[in-house]
């Protein structure tokens, strides 16, 4: 089976899932609370993940699936073909706003990101990339990122990280906020990563993301020249939760070197 | 001339201006810098304001116009019919993102907000309200806001205000960020106000807004039961720059009383 065939299949099931989600807004749905009160999960989250699992297993039963809702297998290596899926990234936005959430999927082969997808469901905009073949929004090529200086940059950042917290020293983050031209916070890691890939923002920083939040976005970001890493400037590890930054290449190291001081548990 | 006629006229020119803006993205445009580096202005900003002024003056030459770009009259009272216009709210988003900006207009008669408009140009979504007759998005009625507790609230807030600054004590703002469920920052006051009006967020706070940023949004917010004021809980003054909050009525006073401590120049 070729990557091109997997790509056509992935696009088709993502668009179908998006259509199902849009139509679900007219139905009643139940909101549950997981351990963390921020970590809201809906029936639709799980139903969408199950939809993907069933489709993918029918497509090729040897493909492995790592999903946010944990309905795929337990995975302890990323050998072979692995689909890394977040059926709804930005669940709070999904629940409260009925917008500003995304389906995001990365397809990795032996740990290499081959295909990446972020579908902004309510805008009906599908971002995708094939490794080495560029990135697209609704089939229009994304442009390579242009150089930018930090004092002209817009960065995506949750306000939490400029307040005292257990993960990162907040004082240098305050300096960063004062240095840049502006900050944004959208409440969906996938949509924030793709904003960097499109040059709408110049960096996005998070202290706690899971593989499914970033797997698709990293493939897209790479294709336009953005750099994704953890906040120690190490490569992305798809088997664990970690810190995260994706940035325009002209400011990626500057942000990490001058403004990021991780606390113990993130060191 | 009836309010209904003014409304039909206002809707028509806003939609026409939006169409002009969308088509302008294919043209070259020049970016200038006003006194504040954040306060970017484009040719399109000014052309759009001029478009509104010409249309309105032809419609009724007695109407007064207060616009961000200062191409209307100097206005020292809000007697009579006053159009308060921001041709592009969220200029940095306009320039960098080509999305997440809005046209916003308020029509006031003797200081009373009669008509309010926020047009999310790229989503093609027109929010409007007529005083006492409800608010709408693309002709679908907005629902009255439901009660919410602060610990479940999403608030719109620029990260700057949780860092040391000259306008507000940032320590209580840190407490606020820790108290609420989440924060967002979109970079357009108009779109943040309308997010509160739609129940997508529960409050939006800014330390420095001008009449044209809020005039349209306040009319819309009022119609769904949101409360807008300055951060001293005083009524909106449409003749000067001021602090601003719009919030769900169940948390408006709680935020001001428990978390807002203005510094000298804002007292």
For B29-57, what is the mean pLDDT? 74
Interface check for A34 against chain B (CB to CB < 8 A): the answer is no
Interface check for B37 against chain A (CB to CB < 8 A): the answer is yes
> CA distances (Å), B231 to each of A118, B141, B151, in order?
39, 29, 20
Nearest-Cα residue of chain B relative to residue A37: B181
Tokens matching residue B150 = 């602060």
Cβ burial A141-168 (10 Å sphere, 16+ → b, else e): ebeebeebebeebbbbbbbbbbbebebb
| Ramachandran region, residue B214 (left: φ > 0; alpha: ψ -120 to 50; beta: rest) | alpha
Interface check for B143 against chain A (CB to CB < 8 A): the answer is no
Interface check for B109 against chain A (CB to CB < 8 A): the answer is no
pTM for this one?
Answer: 0.94
Chain B residues within 8 A of A38 when measuring between CB atoms: 181-182
Domain at B3-141: CATH code:
3.30.540.10
Residues 6+ apart with CB under 8 A from A51: A13, A16, A17, A20, A87
Tell me the pLDDT tens digit for each residue of B81-124.
999 999 999 999 998 999 999 999 999 999 999 999 999 999 99
Tell me the pLDDT tens digit for each residue of B47-77.
899 999 999 999 999 999 998 777 666 777 8
Chain A residues within 8 A of B183 when measuring between CB atoms: 158-160, 185
Cβ A97–B186 below 8 Å, yes or no? no
Q: What CATH topology corresponds to B150-266?
A: D-Maltodextrin-Binding Protein; domain 2 (3.40.190)
Interface test with B, best of A25, A159, A184 (most B CBs within 10 A): A159
| Rounded Cα gap, residues B215 and B208, in angstroms | 14
Which residue stretches of chain A have pLDDT < 70? 26-41, 71-73, 265-267
| Rounded Cα gap, residues B265 and A237, in angstroms | 49
Interface check for A185 against chain B (CB to CB < 8 A): the answer is yes
Based on the number of CB atoms within 10 Å of its own CB, is A21 exposed (0-12), middle (13-18) or buried (19 or more)? buried
Residues 6+ apart with CB under 8 A from A202: A148, A153, A154, A155, A196, A247, A248, A251
* B33 pLDDT higher than 70: no
Domain ranges of chain B: 3-141, 150-266
* Interface confidence (ipTM) of the complex: 0.93
C-beta separation of A89 from A39 below 8 A: no
Tokens matching residue B142 = 């907005």
pLDDT of residue B136: 98
What number of other Cβ atoms are within 10 A of residue B10's Cβ? 24
User: Which of A162, A164, A186 is facing B159, going by the closest CB pair?
Assistant: A162
Cβ A157–B162 below 8 Å, yes or no? no
């Amino acid at each position: 089976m070729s990557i091109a065939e997997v790509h056509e299949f992935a696009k088709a099931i993502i668009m179908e899932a998006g259509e199902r989600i849009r139509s679900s807004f007219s139905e009643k749905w139940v909101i549950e609370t997981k351990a963390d009160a921020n970590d809201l999960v809906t029936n639709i989250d799980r139903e969408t993940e199950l939809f993907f699992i069933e489709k993918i297993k029918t497509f090729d039963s040897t493909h492995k699936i790592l999903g946010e809702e944990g309905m795929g297998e337990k995975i302890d290596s990323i050998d072979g073909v692995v689909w890394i899926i977040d059926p709804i990234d930005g669940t709070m936005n999904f629940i409260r706003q009925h917008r500003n959430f995304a389906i995001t999927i990365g397809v990795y082969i032996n740990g290499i990101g081959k295909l990446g997808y972020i579908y902004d469901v309510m805008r009906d905009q599908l971002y995708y990339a094939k490794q080495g073949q560029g990135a697209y929004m609704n089939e229009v090529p994304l442009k390579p990122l242009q150089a930018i200086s930090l004092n002209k940059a817009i960065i995506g950042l949750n306000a939490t990280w400029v307040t005292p917290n257990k993960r990162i020293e907040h004082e240098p983050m305050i300096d960063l906020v004062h240095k840049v031209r502006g900050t944004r916070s959208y409440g969906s890691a996938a949509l924030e990563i793709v904003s960097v890939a499109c040059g709408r923002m110049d960096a996005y920083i998070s202290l706690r993301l899971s593989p499914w939040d970033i797997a698709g976005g990293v493939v897209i970001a790479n294709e336009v020249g953005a750099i994704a890493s953890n906040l120690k400037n190490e490569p992305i590890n798809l088997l664990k939760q970690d810190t995260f930054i994706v940035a325009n290449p002209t400011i990626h190291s500057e942000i990490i070197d001058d403004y990021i001081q991780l606390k113990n548990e993130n060191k």
